[in-house]
Amino acid sequence: MILHVTDCFRPRLGGIEVQVEELARAQQADGETVQVVTATPAADGTDRPGCGYPVHRVVARLPWELPVHPRAGRHLRGLFTDLRPEVVHVHLGSVSPFAWSAVRCALRCRLPTVVTVHSMWNPATCGMYRSFDRLAGWSGAPLVVTAVSTAAAELVRSTAPDATAIVVPNGIAPDQWRTAGRPDDAADDAAGNGPVHVVAVGRLAPRKEPVTLLEVLDAARNRLDGEVPLRATVAGTGPALSMMQRYLRRHAMADVVRLVGRLDRGGVRTLLASADLFVNPTVRESFGIATLEARTAGVPVLARAGNGVADFIHHGREGLLCHSVDDLVDAVVWLARDRQARQRIRRHNRATVPTQCTWPAVLAAFRDCYGRATTLATRPAGRGGSESS
């Protein structure tokens, strides 16, 4: 049995929550027995996750329903003893106290342990993990560490001399998205001289830089000056929503940019079907699952260089990778003007599948990691060590 441990899970919505749920569901469909442990409370005090596998909630009454527990270790040890998992798969963000409690408990119980890092650690976080390594030696522990992208893995490896990380990307089912975008170039031609539709999907949190997105759209609109009209749709919710609303009012953009709130999967598919461009302005994007979905649907992608998006977007092929906000503005203006360039990228995206991000590839990679972790857990004490490829 695979036991996934995560600070955050449904009903919270975010990249880690959604990806852990999807990974567990894919493993279950592949014949594995799967359960989830989380510090996130249920929405109404009851637990009806509707995901088809058990969800154990280790919850403390804390302000703002913070996903931590002051006695997490005791509860987790009891769960590990009762459930006897074959592998404990722990999911980390930047700072994940509940998840790290699970790592410590799993290692003390000599259970095969895999840790997946889902975020881009910033300099302060890397410094914290360097100190943590000096105190606890986590980088040399008998566990397997993975990260969701090359950029995220490099930051993990920078934290300590022995720190390692295997890149195992997030997964999608391409067939769910390849039919979402415009079916052919004729659909793009049918748009005639209508507005170029720019789309963004994601959590509206400051670290995702949604206000930067509005600044890019505003600057691009001014540069185009009516030559090519722009319209934009932003899907998502989060704490930056009020800042975005104020920006739109202040810059008279309410008739250009629609904020449509959170959309379910069907809503996102419908939105991508009308998209000419997908823009992700986030600098520290560890992966970008919505960006991958847009790319798989055929939509040309504009994103920042040097982060996790670069694992599946190559400059000039699936879209454009930009080194600055000014570069993003230039890219929007160029592709808004150049329909043929949009069509070329769209044709490529629709004709190719990001095979490394498909569920069969992701599940096979994790099976290998689980095997490595089992080997480490069964070695005599003192001969372990974290692994990478």
Decide if pLDDT at 258 tops 90: yes
pLDDT band at 389 (very low <50, low <70, confident <90, very high): very low
74: CB partners within 8 A, 6+ apart = none
Could you tell me what percent of the chain has a pLDDT over 70?
88
DSSP 256: T
C-alpha span between 111 and 141 (Å, rounded): 12
Any domain includes 387: no
| 102 lies in the same domain as 183 | no
Q: What is the pLDDT of residue 385?
A: 53
| 334 lies in the same domain as 202 | yes
Any domain includes 383: no
pLDDT band at 11 (very low <50, low <70, confident <90, very high): confident
Instruction: Report the CATH number that the domain containing residue 186 is assigned in CATH.
Output: 3.40.50.2000
| 193 lies in the same domain as 309 | yes
Decide if pLDDT at 190 tops 50: no
Q: Please tell me the total count of domains within the chain.
A: 2
Structural domain boundaries enclosing 288: 175-354
Q: pLDDT by residue (tens digit) across 48-95?
A: 556 789 999 987 665 545 565 566 678 899 999 999 999 999 999 988
Q: What is the pLDDT of residue 185?
A: 52
Would you say 357 and 172 are in contact if contact means Cβ atoms under 8 Å apart?
Answer: yes
Q: What is the pLDDT of residue 132?
A: 82
Q: What is the pLDDT of residue 15?
A: 80
C-alpha span between 3 and 188 (Å, rounded): 46
Any domain includes 389: no
Q: pLDDT by residue (tens digit) across 97-138?
A: 899 999 999 999 999 999 999 999 999 989 988 888 887 788
**pTM exceeds 0.85:** yes
| 10 lies in the same domain as 133 | yes
Residue whose tokens read 């722990």: 90
